[in-house]
Chain A
Amino acid sequence: EVQLVESGGGLVQPGGSLRLSCAASGFTFSSYSMNWVRQAPGKGLEWVSYISSSSRTIYYADSVKGRFTISRDNAENSLYLQMNSLRAEDTAVYYCARGSPLGYCNAGSCHSSWFDPWGQGTLVTVSS
């Protein structure tokens, strides 16, 4: 069974840091791109970051660029999100999501087409 399990969420003060992890199982992790998607309380979905299977290609949403760093360890079947300089508006449930088997390329960028499956999410609360 394909499974993604996030961890590392919690309460952090504005300006603080947090590192999220996502443990993958049930599939060949090294063959798939991965993504982080977040959802603020009571709000919709926002794509945060993408990493290719080899880590060669990485993209970020403008809202987190320069503050968040995505990485992966294919030997450990794990995905990470290092979050620095956290703001109140980063408060959300963070989901890791596997990218589509085949990516899509347009305008010089190649990325996931869809997200399937998703982990259960981990809540990050930024508050003093």
Chain B
Amino acid sequence: DIQMTQSPSSLSASVGDRVTITCQASQDISNYLNWYQQKPGKAPNLLIYDASNLETGVPSRFSGSGSGTDFTFTISSLQPEDIATYYCQQYDNLPLTFGGGTKVEIK
């Protein structure tokens, strides 16, 4: 199975800060990597697919980059409504696997 390692597991930042989350795959997955946002008590929501493509309707402050084994998710200017847990997910191989999540809080 491909292991997805996210870091940090949690972070606290101020409104307006730039926030960066990393996701490392245990083997090369090209750009077959997606990012989801899960707000408390809600279902996950797709934000970015294929490592860097913004899903329709998602604010442009969210972005993703990377390929191979190392990926980055960025919120350029943190907003109060961005409080959530963020997950990466690979689809290069079955089983489809997720990172452990990064909980983002407001300082």
Residues of A within 8 A of B (CB): 35, 44-47, 50, 59, 61-62, 95, 100, 104, 106-107, 109, 111-121
The size of the chain B interface, using a CB distance under 8 A, is 25
**CB closest residue in chain B, given A95:** B43
Pair B43/A106 contact, Cβ less than 8 Å? no
Total cross-chain contacts (CB, 8 A): 65
Q: Which residues of A contact B55 (CB under 8 A)?
A: 116
A45, A111, A119: the one contacting B91 at CB < 8 Å is A111
Confirm or deny: B14 has a beta carbon within 8 angstroms of a beta carbon on chain A.
no
Residues of A within 8 A of B93 (CB): 106-107
**The residue from A113, A115, A121 contacting B32, defined by CB atoms under 8 A apart:** A113
Interface of A is mostly: strand
B64 contacts the other chain (Cβ, under 8 Å)? no
Cβ contact within 8 Å between B95 and A47: yes
B55 to chain A, nearest CB (A): 7
Distance, CA A64 to CA B102, complexed state (A) = 26
